[in-house]
Amino acid sequence: MGIGVGLGMARFPFAETDNFWRWVALCDQGGIDSLWQTDRLVSDEPFLECMTALAAIAGASKHLKFGMNVASVALRDPLVLAKQCATIDFLSGGRLLPAFGIGADTAPEWAATGRGTKGRGQRTDEGLDIISRLWRGEPVSTDGEHYRYQDAVISPLPVQNPLPLWIGGSSAAAIRRTVRFGTGWQAGLESPAGAGRARRRIQAALKESDRHIDPEHYGTGFFVHFGSADDPVCQRELRRFRRAAPDADLGHLLAVGEDASLATIAAYAREGIAKFILRPLADTDAELLDHSRRLIEAVLPRLADIPLHRD
């Protein structure tokens, strides 16, 4: 398949709901690979809940794949999450791309729900084991530290067998989690060089296991804008990320214009990163639709000219 481009949403970017559905139809008909919804449960800004948003997109599209970028397993019951994913994949004819992580330690959900961040990695690993087994059709009985089930089973199973399971993060624990459970890996704020280093760490660890990840199942994301980097919408978004990573050089997270977007994709592709979630930055509904259309018409046709490094 080579390089694939999806589009991502964080905050709900539309003033009118009808324009959201126009955007979904544009992407479905225009050759966009997939749509990705950020997971955020607690916010005074408008965020769609990721699982229900993906179910709605499934019913409104024919070709698009869709995923969450990324869902925090430790905040959810794994049986419910496994059932939600299986249902969406079943009803969409096999178009779901589940992606999971532990959740940022600065996310407001921890304090709001009284869970705390301690042990969230262990809860995630325990949850992913349960989810993977349920998707395979296994009855799950477990008496773990965080979850206890007796003969839990789901039906119908996902159409995709195995159902993809992408993992986010580049910490040592995230690398181990990817090797143990993942069928793909999604970068966070990593630069092209940083994403390449994480990919090579995953591949080295896979050689010591009995598992395999398709070499084209390594991804990342960045913002795109057709205007100026000084436009307020760009500066607002970059300030958010600088607060999250004040010491990091985040220039690679924003590409302005068609050529810069393609150059950023090419820089990651040289590091073996093949799948991309591009997030159009715009101030109005009309501008966001226009940016998405320009990606479809001016960027997608040129992807075939970008070589993808494979080792």
What are the residues facing 244 on neighbouring strands?
Answer: none
Is the pTM of the predicted complex or chain greater than 0.85?
A: yes
Q: Could you say which architecture CATH assigns to the domain 4-132+159-305? A: Alpha-Beta Barrel (3.20)
pLDDT at 39: 94
pLDDT for the residue numbered 105: 85
Q: For residue 300, which of 273, 267, 276 has the smallest C-alpha distance?
A: 276
Mean pLDDT across the stretch 81-99? 97
Q: Is the pLDDT of residue 198 over 80?
A: yes
What's the pLDDT tens digit per position in 233-260?
Answer: 998 888 887 787 777 777 889 999 999 9
The mean pLDDT of 89-116, rounded to a whole number, is: 92
pLDDT value of residue 254 = 92
Q: Where are the domains of the chain?
A: 4-132+159-305
Which of these, 189, 173, 196, 144, lies nearest to 308 by C-alpha position?
196
**Residue found under tokens 């955020």:** 40
Structure confidence by residue, pLDDT tens digits, 269-302: 999 999 999 999 999 999 999 999 999 999 999 9
Residue with tokens 């042990």: 119
